[in-house]
Structures are given as structure tokens and as C-alpha cells.
Amino acid sequence: MTRRFYEYVHRVTFADTNVVGNVYFAAYLAWQGTCRELFLADRAPGVVKRLADDLALVTASCSCDYLAELTAFDRVSVRMTLAAVEDNRVTMDFAYYRTGEGPALLAARGAQTVACMTRTPSGLAPTSVPDDLLLALRPYA
């Protein structure tokens, strides 16, 4: 059975590359952030509204393992799935596929954990994962 994923498709530009011509390592992490933000906008707009109020999603960790080079004008499918929900934390897995001609090639794998926090007068405090975020993530578990 194929696991369902949320997809962000990116077209690599020269801005994503380094002097050697391949995609700079930090671009992959930026794409994780873009994928996560578009997921929120598309699937959990109530969470986006709360971000302007009292909710904060704090990135606790992120990682990426690089498996194949990507270069300018490649099409990249960044596929996000839910790895875990524990206490106030959500961990998402990311798979980066070069798509286009021929079969998709797995170019990288990554993960990101965000902590759900609420803004208080004395600073950030842990809070439970919002129900609408849990509901939006459920299909991708």
C-alpha cells in the first residue's frame, strides 16, 4: 500500500544552486519549511489564523540526508508525511524526488520536529497540538 503524502513541487533555479552548479544543501531545508507552510495554508487554515494570535510552531529540529545531486531546472517533488505526534511535538518526514523524464529519483530524505507553544506574558509555554492540526495530519500518518 502506498502511503499518502502532502506534496510541494519546486522548480530548481540558479538561486538554489552553489558555485559548483548543484543545489546548495540549505535549499532542501528551506523547501521543508515551504512544504510545511503550504500544508498549513491548504489543510489547516485555522492553525494559520492562530499563529497571528497566541500559537507558535517552533522548529525543534530538522535534518536532511542527501542521496543524489539536483541541478538548475530540475523539478523536485517534496513529499511530507506524518512520522509522529508526541506530547506537544509533531515530527514530519520529507522525501525529495527528482521528477520529469523517467521514473522519479529519490534525491534526499529529511525530517523536522515542531513544538506547539503558546505565547504568554512570561514567554512561550508548551501547549497541546491543536485539534485542527491533528485532523489535518491524520491522512498522512
Query: In whole angstroms, what is the distance from residue 82 CA to residue 92 CA?
Result: 5
Beta strands in 12-134 (DSSP E): 55-66, 75-86, 89-99, 105-120, 123-126
Question: Which residues of the chain have a pLDDT value below 50?
Answer: none
Residue 1, pLDDT score: 57
Name 124's bridge partners. Answer: 119
Kindly report the CATH number assigned to the domain that includes residue 113: 3.10.129.10
Query: In whole angstroms, what is the distance from residue 132 CA to residue 141 CA?
Result: 15
Is 99 inside any structural domain? yes
Is 46 inside any structural domain? yes
**Distance from the first to the final alpha carbon of the chain:** 13
Q: Which domain holds residue 40?
A: 6-140
Average pLDDT for the chain: 96
Residue 100, pLDDT score: 85
Number of domains in the chain: 1
Contact between 94 and 109 (Cβ < 8 Å): yes
Residue 75, pLDDT score: 97
- Is 31 in a helix, a strand, or coil? helix
Residue 101, pLDDT score: 82
Is 1 inside any structural domain? no
Is 98 inside any structural domain? yes
pTM: 0.94
Cell 533555479, located at residue: 13
